[in-house]
Structure 1
Amino acid sequence: MLRLKLVFAAAALMAGAAFASPTAPKNGAEYTTLKAPQPVQAEGKKVEVIEFFMYHCPACYALEPAMLEWVKKQGDKIVFRRIHLPLTGENDPEAHLFLTLEAMKLEESLHAKVLSTWHVERQRLKSDDDNINWAVKNGIDKQKFLAVYNSFAIITRLKNAGRVAATYEVNSTPTLIVNGRYLTNPTMVDGSNPGQIPRQQLNQATLQVLDALVAMSQK
């Protein structure tokens, strides 16, 4: 009888694994639903997709090429934006740089350069002076940069960045939020499909989950 029970248990585990798939993600497995849905910045039938990231994060850097290709492929179906997780709290220099570039409408054009500084040049931007020197080196007027960097609006947003992340239930990067409602990340996708997804294919599997969540949101 014990042996028979073990056989049934093994069969159940195999069946569960068979149904686990990034192309047909399950709530509580490859993604979760936020306890409190958040407002979105997308209009009409467009679906908002947010990437919570950190400049120094190796996994974010690894995801970036596939993420950009995925966003381009979506066309007008989505509105994509990034939010920098403030790792060191209210004075996090990386989040401070991100918010400043975003406010100056330079974040999109300089995002790749910041990542390259960290991951290719191995230069750590860990202080205000590091950020200011980097900005000047990359052609940004120093006085204009400082005016925004030290502005009340940016300092306030920086102090609130941790609370913003908490409302989205985000505590690691990269983490993706779809339509203010669904949360997923590579760690969840990997953990929900143990041993099934080769490491080099994990980012693509995560984007397959995004495809499914965008389709769900459109319905």
Structure 2
Amino acid sequence: MRWLRRSLLAVFWSIGLLSLTAHAQTRPIEEGFDFRVLPVAQTTEAKGKIEVLEFFWYGCPHCHDFEPELAAWIKRQDKDVVVKKVPVAFRDDLLIHSQLFYAIEALGRSDLHAKVMEAMHVAKRRLMTEAEVTDWIASQGVDRNAFSNAFKSFSVISKARAANQIAQAYRIEGVPTVAVQGKYITSPSIAGGSKARAIQTMDHLIARAKKEKR
């Protein structure tokens, strides 16, 4: 009898959770619930277009989990929407991952971004030292010397540090977080812990930004 009671409670709890989720997906997008507005809007670089910044960290499991939905969302955007990745290092020892990102960009191997996440979250590669990063990048067919030169370059190091300053200006406290047109902030966490709701909110913010631009 006790087992039956527990089973029924579990069923009712599941039904209630599904109902709450369904309600969250159908209610209007609201400021303060699904997104935040920055008190000071940031200057965007994509002049004449809608700029979207994706703040992330390679080692973040939530970023890895959100990546498929985010990649699909990016593919269906109009040409007037520009999406840029911004690596965030919440500790000094994590700046190596921001350098890795910009070194990959400098070498024209943006196809490796998703593979870095797979290496860290699926293959459980730490990639916390320059040697570990270089060994892994070489396994992907990238010349060691070319990567090392890019990784240690003034340009890459400067961009990695500047990315942290951008994150601070946008008041980024966690990742993944998406900023739209320099002032709207959302994420699965902000949008009630739902990736689907975050995507829905991003669509809403893009439409809002386009309307404001007219």
Q: TM-score range by the shorter chain?
A: 0.7 to 0.9
- The reply to whether residue 40 of structure 1 matches residue 44 of structure 2 is yes
1-side partners of 2:114 and 2:162: how far apart? 25
Q: Deviations over 1:130-153 (max 9, x none)?
A: 111111111111111111111112
CA 214–142 in structure 1, closer or farther in 2 if over 3 Å, else same: same
Q: 1:20 to 1:138 in 2, by over 3 A?
A: closer
Instruction: State the Cα deviation string for residues 38-73 of structure 1 (Å, max 9, x = none).
Output: 2223233x3111110111111111111111111111
**In the TM superposition, what is the alpha-carbon distance from 1:28 to its structure 2 partner?**
2.1
Asked if structure 1 preserves the Cα contact closer than 8 Å seen for 2:62 and 2:175, the reply is yes
Separation of aligned partners in 1, 2:54 and 2:161:
19
**Quick one: structure 1 residues 151 and 91, their matched pair in 2 at CA, closer, same or farther if it must change by over 3 Å?**
farther
Q: 1:173 is matched by which residue type in structure 2?
A: V
**Is the counterpart of residue 206 in structure 1 residue 208 in structure 2?**
no
Find 2:34's aligned residue among 30, 34, 45: 30
Task: Show CA shifts across 1:178-215 (max 9, x none).
Answer: 01110011111116xxxxxxxxxx21111000000000
Alignment counterpart, residue 160 of structure 1, candidates 155, 162, 186: 162
Q: What are the residue-to-residue correspondences of 1:6-155 with 2, within 5 Å? A: 24-44=28-48, 46-89=49-92, 92-107=95-110, 109-155=111-157
Who is 2:184 aligned against? 182
1:5 matched to which residue of 2? none
Partner of 1:217: 209
Residue ranges of structure 2 left out of the alignment (5+ in a row) = 1-21
Cα pair 2:94 2:128 within 8 Å, conserved: no
Q: Secondary structure at the match of 1:75?
A: coil
Deviates further, 47-56 or 34-43: 34-43
Q: Secondary structure at the match of 1:86?
A: coil
Of 171-180 and 29-38, deviating more is: 29-38
Task: State the shift of 1:75 in Å.
Answer: 3.2
Maintained 8 Å contact 1:96/1:158: yes
Query: Could you tell me whether the CA contact under 8 Å between 1:22 and 1:189 is conserved in 2?
Result: no
Secondary structure of the 2:203 match is: helix
Cα drift, residue 115 of structure 1: 1.2
Q: How many residues align?
A: 191
Identity of aligned pairs, percent?
31
Q: Give, in angstroms, the shift of residue 21 of structure 1.
A: 5.6
- On the 8 A contact 2:52/2:180 being kept in 1, the answer is yes
**RMSD in angstroms over aligned alpha carbons?**
2.2
